[in-house]
Chain A
Amino acid sequence: MTKKHISFQLNGRPVDALVEPRELLVHVIREQLGLTGTHIGCETSHCGACTIDLNGDSVKACTVLAMQADGGDVMTVEGLADNGALHPLQEAFMQEHGLQCGFCTPGMLIRAYRFLKKNPNPSDEEIRTGMSGNLCRCTGYQNIIKAVKAAAEKMQSA
């Protein structure tokens, strides 16, 4: 199958790739573009480990074709920190013990990033529904909720 050329913004920088039409965006980001922070957990769009930000929305990169990112704007966990300064969400996940094995963490962070953009001052219940597309097997979610809340408060006061 002939490969197609695509280009898009990845964490604020232009990137190019040659891809087969069937290639999944998550594979291209991880394998061709070398950013392995985005993980693959279930491959059926249930676990959210592969969550990225595509054109301002959270999506599951295991169920998006790389072709569909052509011309788009992609952000992954590697794009959260600003010039080495951690994002308040990253700080809060550390402070509130919102991660254990770390495998779901990039997806959680990038989802929480977009969620807080749309709902800067969420209740616990809103966090639970807003984050419900991301599975964690380690934390029982309770500390992630605390972390998202703490980050929201910090970002509000900033």
Chain B
Amino acid sequence: MSTSTEKLEREEKLEGIGCSRKRKEDPRFIQGKGNYVDDVKLPGTLFADIVRSPYAHARIKSINKDKALAVPGVHAVLTAADLKPLNLHWMPTLAGDVQAVLADEKVHFQYQEVAVVIADNRYIAADAVDLVEVEYEALPVLVDPHKAMDADAPILREDIKEKADDGKGAHKHPNHIFTWEVGDDEATTQAFNAADVVVTEKMYYPRVHPSPLETCGCVASFDKVKSHLTLYITSQAPHIVRTVVSLLSGIPESKVRVISPDIGGGFGNKVGVYPGYVTAIVASIVLGRPVKWIEDRMEHLSTTAWARDYHMTGALAADKEGRIKALRVNVLADHGAFNSHAQPTKWPAGLFSICTGSYDIPVAHAKVEGVYTNKAPGGVAYRCSFRVTEAVYVIERMMDILAQKLGIDKAEIRRRNFVKPEQFPYHTALGWELDSGDYPKALQKVLEAVDYDGLRREQQEKRARGELMGIGLVTFTEIVGAGPSKACDILGVGMFESAEIRVHPTGSVVARMGTLSTGQGHQTTYAQIIATELGLPSEDIQIEEGDTDTAPYGLGTYGSRSTPVGGAATAMAARKIRDKAARIAAHLLEVSADDLDWEVDRFKVKGVPGQEKTMKEVAWAAYNNVPDGMEMGLEATNYYDPPNFTYPFGAYLCVIDIDKCTGEAKVRRFYALDDCGTRINPMIIEGQIHGGLTEGFAVAMGQQMPFDEQGNLLGNTFMDYFIPTFVETPFWETDYTVTPSPHHPLGAKGVAESPHVGSIPCFTSAIVDAFSHLGVTHMDMPHNAYRVWRKIHELGLDKHE
């Protein structure tokens, strides 16, 4: 047996980085033994249900609880008046605003929480909800954000109307939340004035909802004797929840235990703190019994955090060859009734300034203005890093539009403007440092794989026959892994991530992280990282997350930050252990640590074959035979504050055929090439990409949260809200290149959100492309049959002879 074969075999046994090993979390899920929040059953649990407003904007004249309280099995009915003495009727939001826990004198959106009923079970609670009598006085409703700052617009937030300035710039109007600008306005104007060509387009990115299959909920259990609160919660960020709960309730963090058990999908929706959680906690404190609150799907779609709702205007200035000279983007952001955007504190529009994309744009300016309307609060990163989806959408749309204006192919216009491989690290006009990339290679690989020229020829032939076929193309760059704590914090806590690893005497490992898997398979991938770093089989490595009593503090999982930040923390903690292990091995082998080489799972004395100690042997020694002066044990903790974000990228291509008679668009082909740097578990990566593409498909082709003029939400069940089934979902083709991140300890960048961010503009690109020969430059989402048919009809393409 050759040495290299033997080494490879040892490597394979570890099932470490690069291995498509099967998931460690699956056995419990396939046997119905997952433990989700609604599965938590504590003795004596009561059930909370919420009375909600039928109006989008109204004054509460009175609330009568008597009939509800008279129902046998009802323990309490709480309103804002009951929470007020505890100062819990309002709560802070992640965006520096406040949000009503229970409506305080006024309701600001339809389905807003007005009262909470606590009863023996969910049946009695539901009956009692019907019996709470609330008298409302309807007020004028503000639905259109464009009218929010009109002189005669109804003023929504009476609670903060006197507040002239909250540190985010002067308020132009009581409904104005912030104006955020970045870039060089003047230089951008000059570049536009001097440009050969200018293209401008208005586009609306609709309000959509992440809607994981499990809705939100919690079980709050307050022990009056110990003054201790245990909270099982559907949260992607349990540690931050603990901090918020402690700040709100006054219970010290040491007496608050937050547990995120198995979570049935998050997609950004489960980052914030919702009124339902707070009311359950209060009820448990008041009643001294566990209280469960589980929302139904309508409540989920109507009141928990949505995403997007950006009215964007993009403009590009270029020379005749299509080389971009400047970018300008203006956004009107509809934030709903309370500013509960999930984002790092200093970034009112998240990381929207990544809107220069994959392109070498000398100068740019972006401005985002946020306003209140009578809609539910939200604004989370729905399977994306904060506002990156919107940013990628606007730049990718504008690239197509510029290509169209100049008569240049949309692949070629991208090639001409790419940041070139040799330009990395590349400083964008809006302040980011792109870490690594090879955009031309990714694009070329995709074009060849799908025979792009052949598709264009086919399209020509079809157009000649009057058929509608569209080819969409996107070459996106994401910004993920928030983030460097100098730039990013949540409620003042820096956005580091943490890992604590313990190697036991027999070489098995327990490791705990501050992140929280909602389906991404952390128990598997983190184990693989440790396996490779420590040379111990991933099978013997147990990963635990989500219990604030045991896991180190972390900011949680969203914005594709687990691998870039949590994965880095894991690698760094493992390396601390390996360093110590090296010194123990040196002691055992009676050499200096400098004389040792690390090879897969063991330390070898340089130049002396056979003189070696495996990590397993070292682990045993760590508990009985360490060098003088060294502490026993083999464990380490790392809090990793990344030096930069990571910038995954990709090239996507989509082919769509449109039925001219019905407007139905059929995705014939979708080819997704992703570069997420080092690939830890290719099987999981591919699964994440399938899922992200499917969510992108849902957003682009059907998701929307429409409101009527009275602010009523239309379509808040799965009948209307588009979740594609097996039948509608296209077949996905995936591919990859590997351009490691130079600053990440493993070179990994994060992947789960790229397919969502990248695919959405690709679908739009394909839909518009089907009509581009007729002068169409843009069509807003969702591209459902009805809306596509409207365009067909407007162009007179559906004439029947």
A contact set with B: CB distance below 8 Å: 20, 22-23, 27, 30-31, 34-44, 46-47, 49, 76-78, 80-81, 86, 90, 93-95, 97, 99-106, 109, 127-129, 131-145
Q: How would you classify the secondary structure of chain A's contact residues: helix, strand, loop or mixed?
A: loop
Complex partner residue of B726 from A49, A90, A99, A129, CB under 8 angstroms:
A129
Known contacts: A36-B32, A77-B32, A103-B36. The answer to whether A141 contacts B22 by CB under 8 A is no
Of B54-62, B313-321, B717-725, which stretch is located at the interface? B717-725
B123 pairs with A23, CB closer than 8 A? yes
Give the complex CA separation of A131 and B729 in angstroms. 12
Rounded to whole Å, the gap between the CB of B483 and the closest CB of chain A is: 25
B520 pairs with A100, CB closer than 8 A? yes
- Nearest residue (CB) in A for B519 is A101
- Nearest residue (CB) in A for B20 is A97
Complex partner residue of A39 from B36, B519, B693, B695, CB under 8 angstroms:
B36
Highest count of chain A CB atoms <10 Å: which of B28, B297, B692, B717: B297
The answer to the question of B727 belonging to the interface, with a C-beta cut-off of 8 Å to chain A, is yes
The answer to the question of B288 belonging to the interface, with a C-beta cut-off of 8 Å to chain A, is no
B32 pairs with A131, CB closer than 8 A? no
Query: Which residues of B lie under 8 Å from residue A129 when comparing CB positions?
Result: 726-727
Rounded to whole Å, the gap between the CB of B298 and the closest CB of chain A is: 8
Query: Which residues of A lie under 8 Å from residue B520 when comparing CB positions?
Result: 100
A102 pairs with B690, CB closer than 8 A? no
A81 pairs with B31, CB closer than 8 A? yes
Q: Interface residue count for B (Cβ, 8 Å)?
A: 56
Known contacts: A37-B32, A100-B691, A142-B690. The answer to whether A46 contacts B719 by CB under 8 A is yes
Give the complex CA separation of A90 and B31 in angstroms. 8
Give the complex CA separation of A97 and B25 in angstroms. 11
- Nearest residue (CB) in B for A90 is B30
Rounded to whole Å, the gap between the CB of B212 and the closest CB of chain A is: 6
Known contacts: A132-B725, A140-B694, A140-B729. The answer to whether A78 contacts B719 by CB under 8 A is no
Of B2-10, B262-270, B386-394, which stretch is located at the interface? B262-270
**Residues B235-291 near A (CB distance < 8 A):** 262-265, 267
B123 pairs with A44, CB closer than 8 A? no
A42 pairs with B214, CB closer than 8 A? no
Known contacts: A43-B297, A76-B32, A143-B687. The answer to whether A137 contacts B265 by CB under 8 A is yes
A-B contact pairs, 8 of them (CB 8 A): A93-B30, A100-B519, A102-B25, A102-B519, A103-B214, A138-B213, A139-B687, A142-B690
B726 pairs with A100, CB closer than 8 A? no
- Nearest residue (CB) in B for A125 is B727
Query: Which residues of A lie under 8 Å from residue B263 when comparing CB positions?
Result: 101
- Nearest residue (CB) in B for A34 is B41
Known contacts: A44-B717, A100-B519, A100-B687. The answer to whether A135 contacts B725 by CB under 8 A is yes
Rounded to whole Å, the gap between the CB of B538 and the closest CB of chain A is: 15
B717 pairs with A132, CB closer than 8 A? no
A86 pairs with B30, CB closer than 8 A? yes
Query: Which residues of B lie under 8 Å from residue A23 when comparing CB positions?
Result: 123
Give the complex CA separation of A30 and B718 in angstroms. 22
A141 pairs with B30, CB closer than 8 A? no
Rounded to whole Å, the gap between the CB of A99 and the closest CB of chain B is: 6
**Residues B530-561 near A (CB distance < 8 A):** none
- Given A47-B297, A94-B23: 10 more A-B contacts, CB < 8 Å: A22-B123, A41-B215, A100-B519, A103-B212, A129-B726, A135-B213, A137-B691, A138-B687, A142-B729, A144-B726
Query: Which residues of B lie under 8 Å from residue A35 when comparing CB positions?
Result: 32
Q: What mask results when residues 671 to 692 of chain B are scored 1 for a CB within 8 Å of chain A, else 0?
A: 0000000000001101110111
A97 pairs with B684, CB closer than 8 A? yes
- Nearest residue (CB) in A for B210 is A137
A94 pairs with B211, CB closer than 8 A? no
Rounded to whole Å, the gap between the CB of B621 and the closest CB of chain A is: 36
Query: Which residues of B lie under 8 Å from residue A106 when comparing CB positions?
Result: 29, 32
Highest count of chain B CB atoms <10 Å: which of A34, A35, A44: A44
The answer to the question of B747 belonging to the interface, with a C-beta cut-off of 8 Å to chain A, is no
Give the complex CA separation of A80 and B521 in angstroms. 24
Rounded to whole Å, the gap between the CB of A32 and the closest CB of chain B is: 11
Give the complex CA separation of A142 and B693 in angstroms. 11
Q: How would you classify the secondary structure of chain B's contact residues: helix, strand, loop or mixed?
A: loop
Complex partner residue of B731 from A22, A34, A47, A142, CB under 8 angstroms:
A142
B213 pairs with A104, CB closer than 8 A? yes
B30 pairs with A109, CB closer than 8 A? yes
**Residues B496-534 near A (CB distance < 8 A):** 518-521
Rounded to whole Å, the gap between the CB of A59 and the closest CB of chain B is: 17
Give the complex CA separation of A35 and B725 in angstroms. 26
The answer to the question of B296 belonging to the interface, with a C-beta cut-off of 8 Å to chain A, is yes
Give the complex CA separation of A122 and B216 in angstroms. 36
Rounded to whole Å, the gap between the CB of A36 and the closest CB of chain B is: 4
Rounded to whole Å, the gap between the CB of B202 and the closest CB of chain A is: 31
Complex partner residue of B29 from A105, A132, A139, CB under 8 angstroms:
A105
A41 pairs with B31, CB closer than 8 A? no
- Nearest residue (CB) in A for B697 is A140
A103 pairs with B213, CB closer than 8 A? yes
- Nearest residue (CB) in A for B32 is A37
A128 pairs with B519, CB closer than 8 A? no
Query: Which residues of A lie under 8 Å from residue B265 when comparing CB positions?
Result: 100-101, 103, 137-138
- Nearest residue (CB) in B for A103 is B264
B694 pairs with A141, CB closer than 8 A? yes
The answer to the question of B180 belonging to the interface, with a C-beta cut-off of 8 Å to chain A, is no
Rounded to whole Å, the gap between the CB of B384 and the closest CB of chain A is: 15
Query: Which residues of B lie under 8 Å from residue A144 when comparing CB positions?
Result: 726
The answer to the question of B38 belonging to the interface, with a C-beta cut-off of 8 Å to chain A, is yes
Query: Which residues of B lie under 8 Å from residue A131 when comparing CB positions?
Result: 726
Known contacts: A38-B32, A86-B30. The answer to whether A137 contacts B695 by CB under 8 A is yes
The 3 closest A-B pairs by CB, nearest first: A37-B32, A103-B264, A101-B519
The answer to the question of B39 belonging to the interface, with a C-beta cut-off of 8 Å to chain A, is yes
B30 pairs with A99, CB closer than 8 A? yes
Known contacts: A101-B519, A137-B695, A143-B690. The answer to whether A49 contacts B213 by CB under 8 A is yes
Query: Which residues of B lie under 8 Å from residue A47 when comparing CB positions?
Result: 213, 297, 718, 723
A140 pairs with B32, CB closer than 8 A? no
- Nearest residue (CB) in A for B686 is A97
Query: Which residues of B lie under 8 Å from residue A133 when comparing CB positions?
Result: 725
- Nearest residue (CB) in A for B521 is A100
Give the complex CA separation of A93 and B32 in angstroms. 13
Query: Which residues of B lie under 8 Å from residue A30 when comparing CB positions?
Result: 38-39
B264 pairs with A101, CB closer than 8 A? yes
B691 pairs with A102, CB closer than 8 A? no
B691 pairs with A36, CB closer than 8 A? no
B723 pairs with A97, CB closer than 8 A? no
B731 pairs with A93, CB closer than 8 A? no
Give the complex CA separation of A136 and B732 in angstroms. 16
Query: Which residues of A lie under 8 Å from residue B212 when comparing CB positions?
Result: 101, 103, 137
Known contacts: A43-B296, A49-B213, A132-B726. The answer to whether A142 contacts B262 by CB under 8 A is no
Known contacts: A36-B32, A41-B297. The answer to whether A137 contacts B727 by CB under 8 A is no
The answer to the question of B440 belonging to the interface, with a C-beta cut-off of 8 Å to chain A, is no
The answer to the question of B34 belonging to the interface, with a C-beta cut-off of 8 Å to chain A, is yes
Known contacts: A106-B32, A140-B693. The answer to whether A101 contacts B725 by CB under 8 A is no
Rounded to whole Å, the gap between the CB of B48 and the closest CB of chain A is: 16
B297 pairs with A102, CB closer than 8 A? no
Complex partner residue of A40 from B38, B519, B688, B718, CB under 8 angstroms:
B38
Give the complex CA separation of A47 and B581 in angstroms. 51
Query: Which residues of B lie under 8 Å from residue A137 when comparing CB positions?
Result: 211-213, 265, 267, 691, 695, 723
Query: Which residues of B lie under 8 Å from residue A38 when comparing CB positions?
Result: 32
**Residues B723-769 near A (CB distance < 8 A):** 723, 725-727, 729, 731-732
